[in-house]
Amino acid sequence: MTSTHFSSGDLIADRRADYARMFAQSGEFAEAAELMEQALEQVPGWAAGWFRLAEYAEKSGRKEAAAAALEKVMALDPTDIFGASLKLAVLGAAEAPAAPPTPYVERLFDDYAERFDTALVKKLDYTVPQTLARLVLSHAGKDAHFGLVSDIGCGTGLFGVEIRAHAGRLEGFDLSAGMLAKAEEKQVYDHLAQADLSLAAEASGLFTEAGEKRADLVSAADVLMYLGDLAEVFPSVARLARPGGLFAFSVEDGGAGDAPVLRPSLRYAHPEAFIRRKMEESGFDPVAMEKSVIRQDAGQPVHGLLFLARRQG
């Protein structure tokens, strides 16, 4: 998030917000909320301030006040760069959106890009890129060669590193310019481009860069949990993959239901039955599925499902 989103533009309000953050860091959320309310009296149009107030109000047990603050955020920032619609759904004050707002996802990963590898891999035991590559090669063969690998939602390129030796050409696509810059530093991709995977591929520019029905392997490592109902994802991948091509991807395990579930982490979990239905509807045959702990979150394991599917001929 840019500094213009953090600052209110008012020195007194910013000072009170700084004091509020200090109280929050000490676990004194009621006091933090009170100070944020005082700051917002100075600058009532400060969307980031209302979002921070919502956080403090929720943590102090005032869910109704948190929801009211989030409604204010939505009114001030219709693009929803803060993901207020997701938070409202988690609080039970609104229906979960079918997909997260694109500006929120882009901002989230732009902010996270610089510390992504260290935070996720070293601190949270993130294993999806290695496990997904192993799943692909266990079925395609350890000496498998893919003429074109299209890595959608490539992030900082962790899966690209794992599959590079088996790819003739490796292309990476991501919504976040910050993530793409970190992927470029790894020097494993032949081509990198920005694309919004939650949109139809024509609108996102994905086909402009990648072309249709020519990828031998399409990968989406730890991506789909940020894309909600996946309405555009499977049809787009079906158009990217050649007949007989593979699609390797991971999701957070949504349990025994039949629809995506928005979790307090603001990520979506997808039930196995839902994913299998999406594969069938889009012309993919299941090849393999593996259950795995994909990372830690707040000290708790996050359970995931890793899939390998084949595009029908």
Confidence (pLDDT) at 6:
66
Residues 164, 118: Cα–Cα separation, whole Å: 21
Confidence (pLDDT) at 1:
35
Reduced to 3 states (helix: H, G, I; strand: E, B; else coil), residue 19 is: helix
Confidence (pLDDT) at 249:
98
- Asked if the domains 3-95 and 109-311 are classified in one and the same CATH topology, the answer is no
Confidence (pLDDT) at 203:
65
Architecture of the domain spanning 3-95 = Alpha Horseshoe (1.25)
CA angle 281, 287, 288 (to 5 degrees): 115
For residue 278, give every residue at least 6 positions away whose Cβ sits within 8 Å of its Cβ, in sequence order, or none: 230, 233, 234
Confidence (pLDDT) at 135:
97
Q: How confident is the model at residue 244 (pLDDT cuts 50, 70, 90)?
A: very high
Residue 247 confidence (pLDDT) above 80: yes
- Give the pLDDT confidence of 275-287 residue by residue, as tens digits: 999 999 999 999 9
Confidence (pLDDT) at 2:
35
Residue 57 confidence (pLDDT) above 80: yes
Yes or no: is domain 109-311 CATH 3.40.50.150? Answer: yes
Residue with tokens 């005082």, as numbered in its chain: 38
As given in the structure block, the two tokens for residue 167 are 């790819």
Residue 224 confidence (pLDDT) above 80: yes
Residues 252, 97: Cα–Cα separation, whole Å: 17
User: Where does residue 285 rank: exposed (0-12), middle (13-18), buried (19+ CB within 10 A)?
Assistant: exposed
Confidence (pLDDT) at 27:
95
Residue spans per domain, the chain = 3-95, 109-311
Q: How confident is the model at residue 204 (pLDDT cuts 50, 70, 90)?
A: confident
- Give the pLDDT confidence of 125-166 residue by residue, as tens digits: 888 999 999 999 999 999 999 999 999 999 999 999 999 999
Residue 180 confidence (pLDDT) above 90: yes
Mean of per-residue pLDDT scores for the chain: 92
Other Cβ atoms closer than 10 A to 198? 23
In single-letter form, the type of residue at position 44 comes to P
Percent of the chain with pLDDT over 70: 96
- For the segment 57-73, the average pLDDT, to the nearest whole number, is 97
